[in-house]
């Protein structure tokens, strides 16, 4: 059996609590991890000023995956950790896919693939005459053929391997006539290579209605960075809430990062109250990526029984571990 080398960043607040449970659950499947702990986040920054160094990123490139809890503490100025740690990780490791699965009542599952490195989040733009009455701020959207195509291609690959084989492009092509045109043309061209995948297109505003009223229409969705950020929060809200939402930040073929969608929840930190399922399901996504799909499926099945279960972090974790080991 292969042992996978995993960098673990528990982070702040409830991050270390839910990651500890996630690691216990993975161990219960029999999958072996060799973990390296990284003490990073708001608390570390307040202690010695370190957010994330290039040396650490270079170590990460040698690992099989990263498993992250949540980072951020109330007493660190906004932006320091988000830009210095989360965005640096995303850009330096070129984690160009953000993948989030959503499970609805009736067990329908759909997946959003969000482009994770370009669009309005690429940082193009600036100020002119800042803080004067004539101030101008621009914030451009960067869309490269290379960046769009690799994301769209990943989504087609994923859809092609699922039973329904259905992929929806979400954008706003009627108004964003330049970036939308590049996305739509790329989508249509790549579609030609995947004749088994049925395709659809929704404007993002219409997609918001369907997310709430008719999410069953979706199998896989692909969209840009900004629309994906907003749609995935909506997806979380219509599918059981923040305690269940898991995510993968992927570089297919390279080291990728897996984390719950929620933050460090300082309001409940240290009280054994956090729902660990989002972290556990993120661990399952990591196992998928490591080629341990069978163990990942067993974790998802075990979590299903506890989605609405009251209980503390450790109680829910123990119940899921028992489910996986048959109470041994």
Write out the residues near ligand NAI by the rule CB under 6 A. 14, 70-73, 86, 242-243, 259, 262-268, 274-275, 278
CA distance 113 to 154: 8
CA distance 232 to 164: 21
Catalytic, 121? Answer: yes
143 vs 275 by CB, closer to ligand NAI: 275
Which of 39, 51, 40, 4 shows the shortest CA–CA distance to 23?
A: 4
Catalytic, 172? Answer: yes
- Are 119 and 88 in contact by the 8 Å Cβ rule? The answer is no
86 vs 316 by CB, closer to Mg ion: 86
* Binding to Mg ion, residues 252-291 (CB under 5 A): none
94 vs 229 by CB, closer to Mg ion: 229
Contact partner, 118, from ligand NAI, Mg ion, none, Cβ < 5-8 Å per class: none
Burial of 160 (0-12, 13-18, 19+ CB in 10 A): middle
User: In angstroms, what is the minimal distance from the CB of 317 to ligand NAI?
Assistant: 12
The catalytic position among 38, 45, 172, 218 is 172
The catalytic position among 34, 39, 181, 205 is 205
CA distance 36 to 60: 10
Contact partner, 71, from ligand NAI, Mg ion, none, Cβ < 5-8 Å per class: ligand NAI
Which of 290, 287, 265, 288 shows the shortest CA–CA distance to 276?
A: 265
Catalytic, 267? Answer: no
Q: Which residues contact 179 (CB under 8 A, 6 or more apart)?
A: 119, 141, 143, 171, 224
SS3 18: helix
Q: Which residue is nearest to Mg ion (CB)?
A: 229
The catalytic position among 34, 233, 267, 322 is 233
The catalytic position among 121, 154, 218, 306 is 121
Contact partner, 262, from Mg ion, ligand NAI, none, Cβ < 5-8 Å per class: ligand NAI
User: In angstroms, what is the minimal distance from the CB of 82 to Mg ion?
Assistant: 11
Contact partner, 259, from ligand NAI, Mg ion, none, Cβ < 5-8 Å per class: ligand NAI
72 vs 240 by CB, closer to ligand NAI: 72
CA distance 230 to 128: 28
Per-residue x/- track, 215-254, Mg ion (CB under 5 A):
--------------x-------------------------
157 vs 229 by CB, closer to Mg ion: 229
The catalytic position among 198, 229, 272, 297 is 229
User: In angstroms, what is the minimal distance from the CB of 277 to ligand NAI?
Assistant: 8
Contact partner, 147, from ligand NAI, Mg ion, none, Cβ < 5-8 Å per class: none
CA distance 237 to 245: 9
2 vs 139 by CB, closer to Mg ion: 139
User: In angstroms, what is the minimal distance from the CB of 178 to ligand NAI?
Assistant: 31
- Are 156 and 197 in contact by the 8 Å Cβ rule? The answer is yes
Catalytic, 75? Answer: no
Catalytic, 205? Answer: yes
**Residues within the interface to Mg ion (CB under 5 A):** 229
Question: Which residues are designated catalytic?
Answer: 121, 172, 205, 229, 233
């Amino acid at each position: 059996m292969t042992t996978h080398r995993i960098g673990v960043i528990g982070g702040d607040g409830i991050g270390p609590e839910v990651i500890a449970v996630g690691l216990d659950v993975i161990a219960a499947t029999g999958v072996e991890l060799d973990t390296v702990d990284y003490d990073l986040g708001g608390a570390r920054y307040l202690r010695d000023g370190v957010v994330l160094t290039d040396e650490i990123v270079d170590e990460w490139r040698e690992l099989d995956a990263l498993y992250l809890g949540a980072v951020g503490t109330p007493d660190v100025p906004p932006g320091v950790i988000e830009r210095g740690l989360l965005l640096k990780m995303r850009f330096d490791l070129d984690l160009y896919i953000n993948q989030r699965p959503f499970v609805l009542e009736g067990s329908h599952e759909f997946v959003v693939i969000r482009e994770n490195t370009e669009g309005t989040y690429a940082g193009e733009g600036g100020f002119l005459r800042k803080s004067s009455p004539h101030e101008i701020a621009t914030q451009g959207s960067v869309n490269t053929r290379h960046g769009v195509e690799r994301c769209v291609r990943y989504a087609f690959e994923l859809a092609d391997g699922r039973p329904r084989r259905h992929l929806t492009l979400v954008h706003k092509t009627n108004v964003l006539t330049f970036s939308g045109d590049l996305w739509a043309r790329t989508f249509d061209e790549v579609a030609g290579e995947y004749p088994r995948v049925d395709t659809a297109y929704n404007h993002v505003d219409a997609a918001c209605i369907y997310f709430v009223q008719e999410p069953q229409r979706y199998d896989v969705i692909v969209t840009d960075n900004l629309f994906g950020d907003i749609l995935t929060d909506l997806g979380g809200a219509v599918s059981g809430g923040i305690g269940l939402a898991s995510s993968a930040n992927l570089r297919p073929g390279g080291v990728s990062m897996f984390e719950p969608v929620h933050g460090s929840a300082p309001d409940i930190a240290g009280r054994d109250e956090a729902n660990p399922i989002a972290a556990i399901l993120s661990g399952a996504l990591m196992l998928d990526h490591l080629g341990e799909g069978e163990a990942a499926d067993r974790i998802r099945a075990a979590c299903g029984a506890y989605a609405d279960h009251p209980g503390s972090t450790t109680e829910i974790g123990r119940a899921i571990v028992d489910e996986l080991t048959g109470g041994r």
